[in-house]
Amino acid sequence: MPVEVIERITTPRGELQLQRRGEAYEVISNGCFLMATYNGGSEKALITLARRWVPRARRILVGGLGFGYTLRAALDSPGIEMVTVVEIEPKVVEWNLTYLAPHNGFALEDPRTDLAAADMVEFLKGQPEPYDLIALDTDNGPDWVVFERNASLWSEEGLRQLDRWRAPGGVLAFWSAHASFSFEALLREHFKEVAVHFVAARVNLQDDVVYLAR
């Protein structure tokens, strides 16, 4: 199916491209396929699986806006009062308010959405606030980061920073395009409870993976 380039821009983090394939949208970052509107099931599962651990969650922190699927799933969870979503790229925010809005139910316009225009690495260094669920969806996984500096989010130091923002009894959730045994081992080293869920991906040969920890 032919691809129509909607917009291609150069950012401080490299080239970013939004393209349309039929009725679907795709984002390419520095020549690497990043996400698509037809492949958001595991991003939604990131929230639904984590909610089993914290069914009474009220406040959720999402690292990475993407196509807004994780944010939408968070907003659709019963009893949610606020979802803070951290996104560094203004153009991704703009696309979510225009082309992508119908695909995520206009999630950014929900009054419970708190948008933080920031780098997740820097955001976590701030004064922590307690969140019942923290969902990290900034990369293709611990072994395939979108930007080099994001590698710290998946490190021992990154886990410590994320844990500062976790409310008592809260859960950390991580999305990955593939399994990482080294990351799983790191989680098991630092947390008492760890779960690994494999979620079928529509376009990949291998399953996406959701990691939970607390």
Active site residues: 137
In whole angstroms, give the CA distance from residue 158 to residue 160. Answer: 5
Within a 10 A sphere around the Cβ of 113, how many other Cβ atoms?
A: 20
| Strand ranges, E, within 37-165 | 59-63, 82-87, 113-117, 131-136
What is the end-to-end Cα distance of the chain in Å, rounded?
A: 44
Does an H or E element contain 167, and which? Answer: strand 166-176
**Beta carbons of 64 and 89 less than 8 angstroms apart:** no
Q: What are φ and ψ of residue 16, in 5° steps?
A: -130, 135
Rg of the chain on CA atoms, in Å? 16
Written as six digits, the tokens of 171 are 């859960």
Among residues 133, 130, 199, 208, the alpha carbon closest in space to that of 172 is found at 133
* Contacts of residue 72, Cβ cutoff 8 Å, sequence gap at least 6: 44, 104, 105, 107
